[in-house]
Amino acid sequence: MKRSKKKEENNTPLSSAKLSKWDRQYVWHPFTQMQEWEQEDPLIIEKGEGIYLYDIHGNKYLDGSSSIWVNLHGHRHRTLDTAIQNQLGNIAHSTLLGAASPPSIVLAKELVKIAPRGLTRVFYSDDGSTAVEVALKMAIQYWQQQRPPQKKKKTFVRLDVAYHGDTVGSMSVGGISLFHERFQPLLFPAIALDAPYCYRCPLHLRFPSCRTACLDPLEDLLSTRHGQIAGVVIEPMVQAVAGIITQPPGYLSRVRALCTKYDVLLIADEVATGFGRTGTMFACDHERVTPDLLCVAKGLTGGYLPLAATLTTENIYKAFLGEPGKTFFHGHSYTGNALGCAAALANLEIFKKEKTLVQVRKRSGMLQTLLKPLAELPIVGDIRQCGMMAGIELVKNRETREAFPLSERMGYRVAAECRRHGLLIRPIGNIVVLVPPLAATERQLRKMVNIVTKSCRILC
């Protein structure tokens, strides 16, 4: 943690003390036990540059979580900064209800160009949760507007430990009990299937000899109950919040095939995996899958502004055409925000200019090599990675795979150690999660992994 002199000159200790006091006095942080937070000196990030973050004291940190999985090309990227400034010269926001705007038009066209083939329509919203809400509502209304109407098709299938956001609809198709259970009275029922958590396979099988047997129940379910099922909701390739649970090859394409066979919509939540995160533009591209509905958010603006989109097919779009009652009655105040769309366009421009996907593939190979030695540590049970997302599962006993009790807060302790060495990451339970910006160079990746290794060793 290097201190920059300049910072100390124009930032008096008093002002940082005040900020820290006011934060604890006025701000309620997300996913944070505020009683603990109030007792600590809060980390206050004031600046970013490339893949580094700087706090108000001038301490420098590697942004090992991409500011919670949103940042792609680094902070203060000139192309993004300029695009937003230029858009500000025209207008910050105007509504898409009854009017259009140049950046939202051009962005929709560009998104259709890069999306899995067959996705031709773009519906904007503000964040990952709303992108999922939109997909769920579109699916339900789509079935109602079939000729004849299929009003019984109203149930969703989801995976265990799924995470699709924190709003009521997206929680209903989620399965993280710590987050979701207490809200049960608000949630609609969805049918849960085992997650393909190969390290702790619910069927005690091994890939590939298992032949993705965990999907057999999906086939059984769809073959008998497809008349009641509106869609299957899935995070393709990686269930991120679940602890970077990576899906075995062929899993996603089998889900797609089953949905097609039984006339059930496939909703792909690519909020975390979209925009190069897994090494392809979309995770669905790994298996050449086109979902019926595709949800994107986090990386859409390169990590700059809250903007989301739900993409869908011409078939679904057409079901909403006709009399006024067939309208999709959904929209938010900031839907299609011009600054957000301008940032998203700049994001896509950088993908082209900097050949980001080529870089990511190289760098994820490096990351894989760098992570390998960690497998030797006595507390590391499993290392899972897909592109620039990695999860290191800490275990009490490598032989039995016995987990650390959550009360030991192993992930949290590793993360705290990493922070002392200048790396910010956010763990999930016993999983140390490393999600570097796509722009992280080999040197920077090496630094991150060295810090993670050192921090894990301390706790061995």
Ligand X SMILES: *Cc1c(COP(=O)(O)O)cnc(C)c1O
Rounded to a whole number of angstroms, the minimum distance from the CB of residue 131 to ligand X is 7
Question: Of residues 73, 158, 164, 363, which one binds ligand X by CB under 6 A?
Answer: 164
Taking the complex as a whole, how short is the minimal distance between the CB of residue 304 and ligand X, in angstroms?
A: 13
CB of 56 or CB of 428, closer to ligand X: 428
C-beta of 141: minimal distance to ligand X in Å?
Answer: 21
CB 246 within 8 A of CB 238: yes
Q: Which residues pair with residue 123 across a beta bridge? A: 310
Q: Which of 136, 161, 252, 271 binds ligand X (CB under 6 A)?
A: 271
Closest contact distance (angstroms) between CB of 164 and ligand X is 5
**How large is the greatest C-alpha to C-alpha distance in the chain, in angstroms?**
72
Q: Which residue's CB is nearer to ligand X, number 132 or number 218?
A: 132
Q: Which two tokens stand for residue 132?
A: 């999922």
| Interface residue with ligand X, options 123, 163, 197, 351 (CB under 6 A) | 163
Closer residue to ligand X, CB minimum distance, 298 or 419: 298
Distances (CA, A) of 411 to 193, 374, 415, 418, 455: 27, 15, 6, 11, 10
Distance CA(344)–CA(308), nearest Å, equals 10
Does 272 sit near ligand X (CB under 6 A)? yes
Write out the two tokens for 51.
Answer: 């893949």
Which CB atom, from 29 or from 151, has the smaller least distance to ligand X?
29
Contact 270, 308 (CB under 8 A): no
Residues 390-449 that bind ligand X (CB under 6 A): none
Instruction: Give the residue with the Cβ less far from ligand X, 176 or 380.
Output: 176
Query: Could you say whether residue 240 binds ligand X (CB under 6 A)?
Result: yes
> 54 or 334: whose CB is closer to ligand X?
334
Partners of 402 in beta bridges: 397
Beta carbon of residue 68, minimum distance to ligand X (angstroms, whole number):
8
Tell me how far apart the alpha carbons of residues 333 and 330 are, in angstroms, rounded to a whole number. Answer: 10
Alpha-carbon span 82 to 251, nearest angstrom: 41
Using CB under 6 A, count the residues that bind ligand X: 15
> Does residue 258 bind ligand X (CB under 6 A)?
no
Instruction: Tell me if 436 sits within 8 A of 445, measured CB to CB.
Output: yes
Strand 238-239 relative to strand 308-313, pairing: unpaired
Site for ligand X in 110-139 (CB under 6 A): 127-129, 132
Residue 233 Cβ vs ligand X, minimum distance, rounded to whole Å: 10
Q: Which residues of 335-370 are buried (b: 16+ CB within 10 A; e: fewer)?
A: bbbbbbbbbbbbbbebbeeeebbebbeebbeebeeb
Question: How many C-beta atoms lie closer than 10 Å to residue 410's C-beta?
Answer: 23
Site for ligand X in 76-115 (CB under 6 A): none
CB of 435 to ligand X, least distance (A): 10
Calpha distance 159→252 (Å, rounded) = 12
Q: Which is nearer to ligand X, 271 or 379 (CB)?
A: 271
Using CB under 6 A, pick the residue from 63, 133, 269, 382 that binds ligand X: 269
Question: What residues numbered 199-238 form the site for ligand X, per CB under 6 A?
Answer: 235
C-alpha distances out from residue 306 to 131, 291, 331, Å: 11, 23, 15
CB of 195 to ligand X, least distance (A): 13
Whole-number minimum distance, CB 331 to ligand X, in Å? 17
Closest residue to ligand X, Cβ-based?
Answer: 128
- Rule CB under 6 A: say whether 277 interacts with ligand X: no
Judged by CB under 6 A, does residue 165 bind ligand X? yes
Q: How far is the CB of 165 from ligand X (least distance, A)?
A: 4
Tokens of 258: 């089953």
Is 165 or 169 the residue whose CB approaches ligand X more closely? 165
For ligand X, the closer of residues 432 and 451 by Cβ is: 432
Which residues, at least 6 apart from 187, have a Cβ–Cβ distance to it below 8 Å?
Answer: 168, 171, 172, 180
C-alpha Rg value of the chain to the nearest Å: 22
Burial (CB < 10 A; 0-12, 13-18, 19+), residue 165, is buried
Strand partners, 45: 55
Shortest CB 352 distance to ligand X, Å:
25
What mask of x and - would describe binding to ligand X in positions 278 to 297, judged by CB under 6 A?
A: -------------------x
For residue 215, give the nearest of 238, 240, 198, 190 by alpha carbon: 198
We find the least distance from the C-beta atom of residue 350 to ligand X, in angstroms, to be 21
- Binding to ligand X by CB under 6 A, coded x per residue (else -) over 375-394, reads --------------------
Q: What is the 3-state secondary structure (H, E, C) of 407-435?
A: HHCHHHHHHHHHHHCCEECCCECCEEEEC
Whether residue 383 contacts residue 371, with contact meaning beta carbons closer than 8 Å, is answered with: yes
DSSP bridge pairs for 101: none
* Candidates 185-193, 249-257, 266-274, 369-377; binding stretch for ligand X (CB under 6 A): 266-274
Using CB under 6 A, list all residues that contact ligand X. 127-129, 132, 163-165, 235, 240-241, 269, 271-272, 297-298
